[in-house]
Amino acid sequence: MEHLSKRLLSWASVIDEQTLDQAETTSRLPFISPHLALMPDAHLGKGATVGSVIPTLGAIIPAAVGVDIGCGMIAVRTQFTRERLETANLAELREQIERAIPLSAGRDNRKIVATAEPRVAELEELAEQRGFNPGQYAKHWRLQLGSLGSGNHFIEVSVDELDRVWMFLHSGSRGVGNKIAQHHIRVAQRLAKQWWIELPDPDLAYLVEGTPEFTRYIAELRWAQRFALLNREEMMDRVARQLGEAMGEPVFEHERINCHHNFTESEMHYGKRVWVSRKGAILADEGRPGLIPGSMGTASYVVTGRGDPRSLHSSPHGAGRVYSRSAARKEFTIEQLRDAMAGIEYRDTDAFIDEIPQAYKPIDRVMADAAELVEVRHTLRQIINVKGD
């Protein structure tokens, strides 16, 4: 860990100057308390750095939570072994998962299936309690529950160091969460202009605790965080059903972990109650289980937190980009992607070139940097990978 300034601590051994400048700019905001913590996977983001932990006193920056509110991971350890899994038709299992879960941006379910009904009902009741209508943001939000999205979101069937089979996936609050986030970012920017608040970046506009705008944001943010968690639960149930059918018996869950990495919570740190916005970071209280995925084709990790107070009880959420999507598509080829995915069952398409492992920081370097923050329990290696275009 390195003290870059009194208000900026960094665990990142691989980081560029532009990202550091962005983090330093955020750390100088007057309501940051006690300091901003940069995770090992930190990289340039919109307004605030991805892979940063931002404690704020009496205010929240909506863009510091990000537009995919509640994005995170879920993993389940099953009773199956690698030897047993490899007796199944892996290509057919991948295709069945792809049929069971809508993939890619803008793809939703055609109907609300039985497993989704109680989850949708819970969200309807929660929205009513919060006093807002999610339909004002996304008319078909109910059909988004149980859909993956695109980009770095994924579904995987993996094995750990003992050859036990895990199901692992990464997604968030989909279009409805994005629309909620974008709305409140605009509200914060409008208020900054209205009150002549000078900001180093318009995306660092903030909402002040105690105002109606702040109260509404928290209510809708928490609804979106719940949507994201239930979205992952719904997809995991569908993956388990497909895996069980392929193996000829229902999945027995030995362990299930579900955690956010784009979210805000009110927490106590250094004797103060602050709002902690983790934009690409997971909560890593001592003993808390967590998930840190690598990039496409590399290892992922099941961890437990060490509760490091300097990191505000946080850890990285993944590998962290070193190439933008457009730069990666110019730099790498589909042949390089195929080499990186050798031995993994996946959909072979150049749509995934920007997700090639070389576009990300080496996950083993990230995990070495995070040794003070988490303890590795299991290392997962992909057998099947599913992504949206």
Per-residue pLDDT tens digits for 169-196: 999 999 999 999 999 999 999 999 999 9
**0.85 exceeded by the pTM?**
yes
Average pLDDT, rounded, for the chain: 97
Q: Return d(Cα 232, Cα 168) in angstroms, integer.
A: 10
How far apart CA 213 and CA 189 sit, in angstroms, is 12
What CA–CA distance (Å, rounded) separates 324 from 322? 7
pLDDT digits (tens, 9 = 90+) for 33-77: 999 999 999 999 998 999 999 999 999 999 999 999 999 999 999
**High-pLDDT (> 70) share of the chain, %:** 100
Percentage above 90 pLDDT, the chain: 98
Q: Is the pLDDT of residue 257 over 90?
A: yes
Query: How far from chain centre, in Å, is Cα 130?
Result: 24
Q: What's residue 187's pLDDT?
A: 98
Q: Is the pLDDT of residue 104 over 90?
A: no
| Residue 314 Cα distances to 236, 255, 275, 343, 378, angstroms | 25, 22, 14, 33, 19
Task: Kindly tell me if the per-residue pLDDT of 371 is higher than 90.
Answer: yes
Q: What is the CATH number of the domain that holds 143?
A: 3.90.1860.10
Cβ 53 vs Cβ 312: under 8 Å: yes
Going across the sheet that includes 272-279, the strands are 2-5, 8-10, 36-43, 50-56, 272-279, 262-269
> Catalytic residue among 43, 153, 184, 317, which?
317
Domain count for the chain: 1
Residue 83 neighbours by CB distance under 10 Å: 10
Say if CB 50 and CB 23 are below 8 A apart: no
What would the pLDDT profile of 292-321 be if each residue is shown by its tens digit?
A: 999 999 999 999 999 999 999 999 999 999
Q: Is 170 a catalytic residue?
A: no
CA-based torsion, 152, 229, 114, 169: positive or negative: positive
Confidence of residue 106 (pLDDT cuts 50, 70, 90): confident
Contacts 24+ apart (CB under 8 A), 120-127: 120/145, 122/226, 122/230, 123/223, 123/226, 123/227, 123/230, 126/223, 126/226, 127/223
What is the Cα–Cα distance from 239 to 253, expressed in whole angstroms? 12
Q: Given the DSSP bridges, would you call strands 300-305 and 289-292 parallel, antiparallel or unpaired?
A: antiparallel
pLDDT > 90? residue 105 = no
Q: 164-171 and 300-305 as β-strands: parallel, antiparallel, unpaired?
A: unpaired
Q: Please give the Cα distance from 284 to 286 (Å, whole number).
A: 6
191-238 residue pLDDT tens:
999 999 999 999 999 999 999 999 999 999 999 999 999 999 999 999
Identify whether the C-beta of residue 287 lies closer than 8 Å to the C-beta of residue 305. Answer: yes
Print the domain residue range for 56.
2-386
